[in-house]
Amino acid sequence: MNVRNATSLEAYASLSNDKDAILVDVRTIKEWQEIGVPNIEQNQIFFLSWRLLPNMSINQEFGSEFKKIRLKKDKKLFFLCRSGARSMEAANFVAALNYEHCYNVIDGFEGHSSGEGWKNNNLPWHLYNLYHLRA
């Protein structure tokens, strides 16, 4: 399965028009808390770090934690990080699990040379609250 790129604007439009689409924010807890998170329907967003602080090693539990979400393999999945690099790694990992529609948000939450990013495009966002944590 190939991962396709989408800008934050394209991802937001898709998430707004397709209530079955999912955004997986793969940044760190520190980023969620200090920088903010997308403000979309709670059932459309999951927070699962691909890399962990302090040394940004790959989260060895990512695969098992992702599988616990129990998403259908034909759902449209958008992966988001700060600038599009970690999200591409996570999207490739999930695509290798035979999920059919994986998208990397190429400009990320904060922007990159490929675009302004979620926050700088003035898409809805807010500070991370404890209600985002899921059992």
For the chain, first and last CA: distance in Å?
30
Q: What mean pLDDT is reported for the chain? A: 93
pLDDT at residue 15 greater than cutoff 70: yes
Report the percentage of the chain scoring pLDDT > 90.
89
DSSP 115: B
Distance (Å, rounded) from C-alpha 82 to C-alpha 114?
12
Q: What is the pLDDT of residue 134?
A: 47
Q: What is the pTM of this model?
A: 0.93
For 45, list phi and psi in degrees, rounded to 5. -130, 140
88: containing domain: 4-132
Q: What is the CATH number of the domain that holds 47?
A: 3.40.250.10
pLDDT at residue 135 greater than cutoff 50: no
Distance (Å, rounded) from C-alpha 32 to C-alpha 34?
6
Confidence of residue 113 (pLDDT cuts 50, 70, 90): confident
Report the percentage of the chain scoring pLDDT > 70.
94
Write the pLDDT tens digit of every residue in 119-133: 999 999 998 775 555
The string over 76-106, giving b where at least 16 C-beta atoms fall within 10 Å of a residue's C-beta and e elsewhere, is bbbbbbbbbebbbbbbebbbeeebebbbbbb
Q: How far is CA 53 from CA 17, 39, 47, 59, 84, in A?
A: 34, 24, 15, 9, 18
Distance (Å, rounded) from C-alpha 96 to C-alpha 15?
23
Write the pLDDT tens digit of every residue in 56-69: 999 999 999 999 99
Q: What is the pLDDT of residue 1?
A: 65
Q: Count up the domains in the chain and report the number.
A: 1
Strands 57-58 and 51-52: antiparallel
